[in-house]
Structure 1
Amino acid sequence: MSDEELAKDLGLVSAMTIGIGTMIGAGIFVLPGVAAQAAGPIVVVSFVVGGVIAMVNAFSVSELGTAMPKAGGGYYYVNRALGPLFGSIAGMGDWMGLAFASAFYSIGFGQYLATLAPIPGFLFLTDIQVGALIAGTAFVLVNYVGAKETGGVQTVIVTLLLAILGVFAVQGWLSFDYATLSGDGGLAPMGAGAILPGTALVFVSFLGYAKIATVAEELKNPGRNLPLAVIGSVAIVTVLYAILVSIMLGVVPWPELSQDAPLTQATEAAFPGGYAGIAVTVVTGGALLATASSANASILASARINFAMGRDKIVTNWLNEIHPNYATPYRSILVTGAMIVVFIAALGQDIEVLSKAASVLHLVVYALMNAALIVFRETDAPEYDPDFTVPLYPLTPIAGMALSLGLLAFVGGRELALSAVFVVGAVVWYFAYARKHTPKRGLLGQYVRDRQASLPDSVVGAAETVAPDGTGDATGTPTVMVALSNPRTERALMTIAGGLAKAKGGSVLATHIVQVPDQTTLAAAAEQRSELLQESEELLADARGDAERFEVDVETRTILSHQGVAEVFDAAREHDADTLVLGYGGAQLAGGRVEGTLDELTHDLPCDVLVLNEREFDPGRVLLPTAGGYSSDLSAELARALRDAVDAEVSVLYVAGEDESEAAGREFLGEWAADHGLADAELLVESGDVETAIRDAAADQSLVVIGATEEGLLSRVVRGSLTLSVLENIDASVLLAERPHSRSLRERLFG
């Protein structure tokens, strides 16, 4: 089942609150007391250094997020650039790191819960661990039944937390005493050398900003808003930590600061007696809200990472089985929940272990993400087109790697060993399972393979040793998705898809969207599959047979949806389709473009899209009108595929402008055809009205392939659309080709 449409409805403020809300739960409510015992008052500098390291990494996260806003975040970038071995390390590391972080947040919840009500210990578990187990179990159940998390809710939570902390800061500053801050031993009683070990302890406080990149597809203007949100949230939280921790240590002497509920203790000391009780209750409620929000968000993020790994066959899709009633990946959530419970029970009496283990695993992932950015840049990956680029490249990603890995030296032996177990486990899992199943070779491995003659044998040998047993294609296997709607057009659409997949060396995914009435739940519809889907199964069986004519792999899928046609684009995003083929009746064209009117103003296409208006489909004689527009490359690609797959005869048409000679038009067309692999095509140059010329040339053709218009929505509403007229007013079948490209709102409106 594919996801609901990801509308671009998150603004800059909502995006920043996602990052701030995840970070703020641990940084200020849980760790100051523990960190102060480890470093003294200079722990304030530890928080600032942690923010600097996070900021350097935030630049790289921003570039990667604007270049390829994919589900899975860091795992996706590492797997795509460095290959599935490092992808396994990043994916498993991120997953385990989130489990450690969730256990840490749950312990924080238990610490503050214990200040409100007495909780009995049980066996070897303390009262805090019992409270944490109750909380962790509740968070897992919330994700199991699929309670939704939205930017609006997160904004309210963060606003409330900032208000609470703001009131504390004002009152705390009025009660601040520098002598209390410095104490008898000065600002650095353990020496300046305690700063970096303190940073290693508190770095878990900065893990939330990368989550913003996972919702990049939902951001308005992500090229601008994503970097501002990621970098801005780190900057705001770093300043907030420095101010609040300084105030806490200036209100309560650092040796006396509580390791369980430090902010509650500082609030009680800062507020006058008449207001202290109310203030403590409000702050404790804020702490419970913050730690609960962070824990819940971490569990939710872990499920998304598992989906991304399952899609690439790094882990078995058994893990991502969807619950028939709740439509959640219940097995993944239960496995994650079980690990959280074990971590709370086994390690919950030493919160440093949980926080440092979460930090170590995430630092490894951050280092790999910086390496992935360099690989994307140096290999000139065609799909890598960031709207934001890191300053001072390559120094910034190199610094990100050095700082992330360098901080590991100050973590401690226990936590390094514990984290190493999971990293080694990920490597073992890759060679035991993932290497046999995943088909995708990373860009780095392909780069080495392409230059094996000039590289040392040891480098080439190492790359081949860890390469997947699958195809080893640098871009994976291209997927051509077909959206089928009825048997009449099935063969035509599968011919186009099969020919294109064969030309690309890819596979075909044939889908049939079955629309379920809003009054019927999808779960109820799924229970009646035999009656509801018989027609669908027959349609997809025919599709398999037609695709096999082209000797390409074909997968078929029926998707139940309330959205109907709107689900097509969602499914293309869900399955990472390279090309989508569908019939004109299901396209809802808006004046010569594939999107509907509202979609055109707010969304970008998920991939290349081909829309067929079929009239007795015959791909034997193809006419390709072109003026060199942005979608003409796709039109040429399809024409070449049909030429090679079904021996189609291709004619290319150019309509010269009023002030352009036929010779100039022929020169342009000859160069364009040669550049696009169509030098053997018949070249036609006409002058006059474009629509008339296309209609006249199409009289002797059976299929017209035409690129989508670049005109804006309002201009086409006023003047009409050439593309729609061609689609509807000629006798031949017409295929509209559109390649996605970025357009501002002004361009979408006015062209």
Structure 2
Amino acid sequence: MSVMRTKSIEQSIREGDDPEYQLKKRLTALDLTVFGVGVVIGAGIFTVAGRAANQLAGPSVIISFIIAALVCGLAALCYAEFASTVPVSGSAYTFSYTSLGELVAWIIGWDLLLELLLGASVVAQGWSAYFEIFMGNIGFDIPDAVAPGSGFDLAALVLVLILTALVSIGIKESMRVNLVLVAIKVFIVLFVIFAGLAYIKSANYSPFIPAAGPPREVSAAETPLLQTLFGLEQTTFGVMGIFAAASLVFFAYIGFDVVATTAEEAKNPQRDLPIGIIATLVICTILYCVTALVLTGMVPYDQIESSGALAAAFESVGKTGYATLISAGAVAGLTTVVMTLMIGASRVIFAMSRDWLLPRQLAKVNPKTGTPLRITIIIGVAVAITAAFTPVGKLEYMVNIGTLAAFTLVSIAVPVLRRKRPDIHRPFKVPFSPVLPILAALASFYLMLTLPTETWIRFIVWMALGFVIYFIYGYKRSRLAGSSREEDVPSMTST
């Protein structure tokens, strides 16, 4: 029995048809695109753009967004091929199970769990901070004892519990709420763009690429691994500053891969999933680049606020009312991010439980809601506790490294599966394979190397914990372990 045992595509699809573990197919290409835009446009556009422009790239942060989008785009093509070929819940976890084997699948599943759980908690705290600003602007102050940063973030706790109840009701009902909130969020982004055009000063774009400066002074733990291993320093501004900013603004794109976690709930996954994944990335890239263009045109890059940059930009031109509206949009926008990350996390655990790598009882679907109710509640409680009581702000880079690791392995898996199963019908194919998948893997791994050393240490500890759980529990109990034992019997007899 080997940890490299691989599940066939046919077996993955067949298990998804088991009535006890079957999710309802209710999502269209529009639902998936809205779902993707809902999770991608969030903390990144409201906070990261300003920090990257102010500290690393200046007006050329637009190029940083494009670089990050290209990396995500390469990975998106790989996800689209897998999602159309293996339309089963679980995203990168399921894809790798059919190509790279059970151990790699477990690594990715455990990795995705880190990304989605921690991401939801981080964004819930970001939502709480914007909610406090919005309530303050309309005359209501949140008591210090339960405010963000107090040790008990009440608003974040309440938000997650409400969203848990909503997600438990059903995926289609969640999508209806998501559609309304995404519409509000996109309206706010478009409002920022068109309202901000009147306040752009062309002088703020000069120099477009500020002269390179020394790297920021950070502790040894915060030093990028690239510098720790190879002595390559990431300068601020200049060309290297653009690449450093790309590593930061990558956070703004995190989430498009969550679309693939809902593959099993799509009505026509072979057609709708590639549309949903690629449309999400295209829409968000356009909105990000234009918003960054407006922001750096309104305010000199060295005066941009590192947090709440969009609202602060309008306050700087005397439009306080606009700033309040933007804060309200951020509250609506971040709500959808938390909800979709929670849905993604529940679907990953659902897939792992259905494979018996985690307790199989968790994967049972509630007949009324068509959702994995037990998993949804567990995820909700975990995110609520983490968001309410844990200062997770310093762990934001953990979300990045988890996502990039999944991108790297999924990209490698595309040519591997093509070689192993050339007979499988692929409704969508990555062009120029294996060149583009290899480029996607290399680009994702490079961005991983630009993350702080302490992030790598935490990531290795988390993965070590995952290995312990797998070899103590999942290795012996998985579905494939049982089938492997059955296949071993006749071979032993014949010997």
TM-score (norm 1): 0.54
Q: Give, in whole Å, the separation in 1 of the partners of 2:283 and 2:75.
A: 15
Q: Which position in structure 1 is the counterpart of 2:443?
A: 403
| 1:30 is aligned to 2:30 | no
Superposition pairs of residues 247-646 of structure 1, within 5 angstroms: 247-269=294-316, 273=318, 276-320=319-363, 328-330=372-374, 333-335=377-379, 337-338=381-382, 341-342=385-386, 345-350=389-394, 353-354=395-396, 356-380=397-421, 384-440=424-480, 469-472=481-484
Match of 2:184 in 1: 160
Structure 2 CA distance for aligned equivalents of residues 109 and 346 of structure 1: 15
Quote the offset at 1:115 in angstroms.
1.0
Q: Could you tell me which residue of structure 1 aligns to residue 193 of structure 2?
A: 169
**What is the aligned counterpart of 1:119 among 130, 142, 145?**
142
The whole-number CA distance in structure 2 between the counterparts of 1:30 and 1:147 is: 29
1:52 to 57, 64, 70: 70
- What does the per-residue CA deviation read over 1:61-84, in whole Å, with 9 as the maximum and x for residues that have no partner? 111111111011111111222121
| Cα pair 2:35 2:340 within 8 Å, conserved | no
CA distance in 1: counterparts of 2:76 and 2:208, whole angstroms: 38
What is the CA–CA distance in structure 2 between the aligned matches of 1:140 and 1:222, rounded to whole Å?
26
**Distance in structure 2 (CA, Å) of the matches to 1:251 and 1:38:** 17
**CA contact under 8 A between 1:99 and 1:340: conserved in structure 2?**
no
Partner residue in 1 for 2:250: 203
**Greater displacement, 133-142 / 250-259:** 133-142
Distance in 1 (alpha carbons) for counterparts of 2:177 and 2:288: 23
* Alignment CA distance shift 1:67-1:145 (3 Å): closer
User: 1:86, 1:114 → 2: CA distance?
Assistant: 42
Task: Summarize deviations over 1:361-386 as a string: whole Å, max 9, x none.
Answer: 1111111112222221111265x321
Contact 2:87 2:270 in 1 (8 A): no
Q: Is the 8 A contact 1:14 1:154 kept in 2?
A: no
Kept in 1, the 8 Å contact 2:21–2:364? The answer is: no
State the partner residue of 2:25: 6
Give the whole-Å Cα distance in 2 for the aligned partners of 1:99 and 1:380. Answer: 33
Higher relative contact order (CA 8 A, sep 6+): 2
Q: Structure 2: 5+ residue runs without aligned partners?
A: 1-19, 214-235, 491-495
Q: Distance in 2 between matches of 1:123 and 1:132?
A: 10
Cα offsets for 1:95-120 (capped at 9, x unmatched): 11001211221122122112123334
Query: Could you tell me whether the CA contact under 8 Å between 1:25 and 1:290 is conserved in 2?
Result: yes
Relative to its length, the structure with more helix (as a share) is 2
1:99–1:336: 8 Å Cα contact kept in structure 2?
no
2:38 to 21, 33, 38: 21
Equivalent of residue 95 in structure 2, options 69, 77, 100: 77
1:591-648 C-alpha deviation (Å, 9 max, x unpaired): xxxxxxxxxxxxxxxxxxxxxxxxxxxxxxxxxxxxxxxxxxxxxxxxxxxxxxxxxx
Identity of aligned residues (%): 24
- Match for 1:247: what amino acid? V
**Matched-pair contact (CA < 8 Å) for 1:181–1:187:** no
Kept after mapping to 2: 8 A contact 1:306/1:332: no
Q: Once the two structures are superposed, what CA deviation does each residue of 1:107-140 show, in whole Å capped at 9, x if it has no partner?
A: 2212211212333444996259724344344434
Separation in structure 2 between the aligned mates of residue 224 and residue 240 of structure 1, nearest angstrom:
25
Contact kept in structure 1, 2:184 and 2:332, CA below 8 Å: no
Secondary structure (helix, strand or coil) at the match of 1:411 reads coil
Q: Structure 1, unaligned stretches of length 5 or more?
A: 441-468, 478-504, 506-751
Amino acid at match of 1:159: A
Tell me, yes or no, if structure 1 residue 67 matches structure 2 residue 91.
no
Instruction: Work out whether 1:110 is the aligned partner of 2:137.
Output: no
- C-alpha separation in 1, matches of 2:271 and 2:458: 39
Residues in 1 aligned to 2:110 and 2:173: alpha-carbon distance in whole angstroms: 24
Displacement of 1:193 in angstroms is: 1.8
The structural deviation recorded for 1:407 is 0.8
Task: Rate the CA distance shift 1:318–1:417 in 2: closer, same or farther, 3 A.
Answer: farther
Name the amino acid aligned to 1:370: S
Could you tell me how far apart the structure 2 residues matched to 1:221 and 1:439 are? 27
Distance apart, 1:265 and its partner CA: 1.4
Q: What CA RMSD, in Å, does the superposition of the two structures yield over aligned residues?
A: 3.1
* Letter in structure 1 aligned against 2:52: A
Question: Counting strand residues as a fraction of each chain, which structure ranks higher?
Answer: 1
Matching of residue 99 in structure 1 with residue 117 in structure 2: yes
CA gap of 1:185–1:303, structure 2 versus 1, over 3 A, is closer
Cα distance, 1:142 vs. partner? 3.9
Does structure 2 retain, via aligned residues, the 8 Å contact 1:363–1:404? yes
Give 1:57 shift. 0.5
SS of match in other structure, 1:406: helix
TM-score, structure 2 as length reference? 0.79
CA separation of 1:67/1:84 partners in 2, compared to 1, >3 Å: closer, same or farther?
Answer: same
Question: 1-side partners of 2:34 and 2:353: how far apart?
Answer: 29
In the superposition, relative to structure 1, how do residues 343 and 278 fare at CA in structure 2: closer, same or farther (>3 Å)?
closer
Cα distance per residue 1:655-705 (max 9 Å; x no partner): xxxxxxxxxxxxxxxxxxxxxxxxxxxxxxxxxxxxxxxxxxxxxxxxxxx
The C-alpha deviation readout for 1:319-338, integer Å capped at 9, x for no partner, is 44678998753355335632
In structure 2, give the amino acid aligned to 1:160. Answer: I
Structure possessing the higher radius of gyration over alpha carbons: 1
Letter in 2 for 1:195: I
* Residue equivalent to 1:639: none
Check the 8 A contact 1:22/1:209 in 2, yes or no.
Answer: yes
Distance 2:374 2:269 in 1: 31
Displacement after TM superposition at 1:2 (Å): 4.8
Quick one: distance in 2 between partners of 1:223 and 1:358?
28
Q: Counterpart of 2:342 in structure 1: which amino acid? A: I
Letter of the structure 1 residue corresponding to residue 74 of structure 2: V
Shift of 1:243: 1.3
Q: How far, CA to CA, are the matches of 1:120 and 1:317 in structure 2?
A: 43
State the shift of 1:218 in Å: 5.1
Tell me which amino acid in the other structure corresponds to 1:177: K
Deviation at 1:166, TM superposition (A): 1.4
Matches of 1:298 and 1:74, distance apart in 2 = 15
Instruction: Quote the offset at 1:175 in angstroms.
Output: 0.7
Q: Deviations over 1:300-323 (max 9, x none)?
A: 111111111011111113544678
- C-alpha offsets along residues 138-167 of structure 1, whole Å, 9 cap, x if unaligned? 434544566854545434433332222212
Evaluate the alpha carbon distance shift between residue 146 and residue 129 of structure 1 in structure 2; reply closer, same or farther with a 3 A threshold: farther
- Which of the numbers 228, 232, 251 marks the counterpart of 2:279? 232
**Residue type matched to 2:199 in 1?**
S
Rounded to whole Å, the distance in 2 between the matches of 1:324 and 1:66 is 26
Amino acid at match of 1:253: P
Q: Which residue identity is paired with 1:59?
A: L
In the alignment of these two chains, the number of paired residues is: 438
Q: 1:238 Cα deviation (Å)?
A: 1.3
SS in 1 for 2:142: coil
Taking the aligned partners of 1:214 and 1:421, their CA distance within structure 2 comes to 25
2:151/2:388 contact within 8 Å kept = no
